[in-house]
Amino acid sequence: MTSRLAPSAADAASRPASNAGQTKLARNATGLVLGKAAQTGLGFLFWVVAARLFTEAEVGVVAAMVAATMLSIQFSIFGVDAAFISLYSVHDSRRGALLGSALALVSFTSLISTVAIVIYALLSDSDFGALADSPMSIGAFLLAAMLGTYVVLFERVSVARRRGHEVLVRNVANGVVSIFPFLAIWAFDVDGGSTTLFAFWLGGIVAAFGFCIHHNTTLDGLSTDRHVARDLVRVGMPNYLLASAERLPMLVLPVVIVTILGASTSAHWYTTWQMAFAVYSIPIAVGTALFAEGASNRKHLDSETRRALSFAFAIAIPCAATAAILAPVALGILGPSYADAGTKPLRILLVGVVPFIFVQAYYAVCRATGRLREASVLAATIAIGSIGGVVVVASRFDLSGIATIWILSITMGALWALPRTVQLLRLESIRNGES
């Protein structure tokens, strides 16, 4: 039998020619955007219920543990996810080996990154040390990081296959399963704790992983191949450096805040950032879809980029405006302290969606054209500016100051990204003989 990754009539049927103004990019991006919307929306609901049933300190500790899990996933994925998209069309007849080698690589890197984070937690004398309070909490973290890494990889598998709707299904399952156990806490007045809350969150990851297996049920064609693995590492390493630098502020800032300002402030920041990220996920999803299209066919990269920018602006700007208006109401659901501490920072963060769209488009174009080094330099500059700035101002200003540092960093990046994207697209047009 062959792997489900092999070309099939079903795959062909899932990629019909564009009609009524729709494109493969738009359909793929729509699935990703809806998937991210479900993830962030249900994720926000998770934190709303958690804030009602658990103390601020417990929520803050779990927020830091979740951030550590996401940080581990970022380190573990090792650029293999982006490499899979880049090599999907290249290894047209060896996609079982491509996926099998990718899974083997991320399993190894996940083990290393999770152990390193646990050692850091054991040595930490801050609230972050709660991650290693007991064998149960350590085991839950290790499992969450490992399965979460697989879920991220399978998301890219769906993107490469133009099956963005699969991401939506998994993220809905993730959110529903993570929220369902709260009923026991509410109905039976069961005593919780940070380990219990993290276990609820872990349940959602387990559910998402289950759907990853369901969406790839015929895995008989899976195998490992050292030559394919070498290709994944060769292509993945530059992508890894870019993705790590790009996402570092989002993953590190909660850990920095809980270390400097404590668990309660970390809870306020994390829930505020979750609301902002619901909007930020739109340009990220559109950028991922643009990368997939550009990697398979660079001939129309210019027109696809324009279409991607229009699509991102058409969705993200109204969403950002709505979120800004509803900020005090939405955060107030969590509790008065969340609304007081988070409304202004949230509105500041939402302003950043405009420069963020341009930066994500630039990253996608660089990934599709193989210019990863220059994109990594920009991402690293933004990361250093935002994290370094927060370390300096965190003890002197409130969360609004931290949000302002992020806005300044991403805006400076966009001032470079926008004209450089235009230049790169012109070069691609010349290269392809387009006017």
Q: What is the pLDDT of residue 1?
A: 40
The answer to whether residue 276 scores a pLDDT higher than 50 is yes
Torsion of CA 159, 44, 243, 167, to 10 degrees: -10
Q: Which helix (H) or strand (E) holds 52?
A: helix 24-53
**pLDDT tens digit string along 81-127?**
888 988 887 777 778 889 999 999 999 999 999 999 888 888 876 66
Q: What is the pLDDT of residue 128?
A: 66
Q: What is the pLDDT of residue 380?
A: 93
Q: Is the pTM of this model over 0.85?
A: no
The answer to whether residue 435 scores a pLDDT higher than 80 is no
When mean pLDDT is compared across 5-14, 250-259, 278-287, 327-336, the lowest value belongs to: 5-14
The answer to whether residue 400 scores a pLDDT higher than 60 is yes
Q: Going by C-beta distance under 8 Å and a sequence separation of 6 or more, which residues neighbour residue 85?
A: 156, 159, 160, 291, 292, 295
Confidence of residue 220 (pLDDT cuts 50, 70, 90): low
What is the rounded CA–CA span in Å between residue 159 and residue 196? 33
When mean pLDDT is compared across 13-17, 87-91, 311-315, 341-345, the lowest value belongs to: 13-17
DSSP string, 331-378: HHHH-HHHHHHHHHHHHHHHHTHHHHHHHHHHHHHHHHHT-HHHHHHH
Specify the higher pLDDT residue, 307 or 20.
307
What is the rounded CA–CA span in Å between residue 314 and residue 311? 5
Q: Going by C-beta distance under 8 Å and a sequence separation of 6 or more, which residues neighbour residue 344?
A: 399, 400, 403
Specify the higher pLDDT residue, 19 or 387.
387
Q: Which of 49, 43, 58 lies closest to 133, judged by CA?
A: 58
**pLDDT tens digit string along 357-398?**
999 999 999 998 989 999 999 999 999 999 888 888 777 777
Domain residue spans in the chain? 22-428
Report the share of the chain in percent with pLDDT over 90: 36
What is the rounded CA–CA span in Å between residue 41 and residue 275? 8
Q: Please list, residue by residue across 321-341, b when 16 or more beta carbons sit within 10 angstroms of its beta carbon and e when fewer do.
A: eebbeebbebbbbbbeebbeb
The answer to whether residue 11 scores a pLDDT higher than 70 is no
**pLDDT tens digit string along 341-358?**
899 999 999 999 999 999
**pLDDT tens digit string along 133-192?**
778 888 888 999 999 999 999 998 998 888 888 999 999 999 999 998 888 777 666 666
**pLDDT tens digit string along 407-434?**
999 999 999 999 999 999 998 888 776 5
Measured CA distances, 310 to 64, 138, 164, 317, 360 (Å): 35, 44, 19, 11, 13
CB 379 within 8 A of CB 364: no
What is the rounded CA–CA span in Å between residue 270 and residue 257? 9
The answer to whether residue 10 scores a pLDDT higher than 60 is no
As a whole number, the mean pLDDT across the chain is 84
Strands, E assignment, 93-193: none
Going 409 to 412 to 417 to 418, the CA torsion angle's sign is positive
Tokens of 31: 């699935």
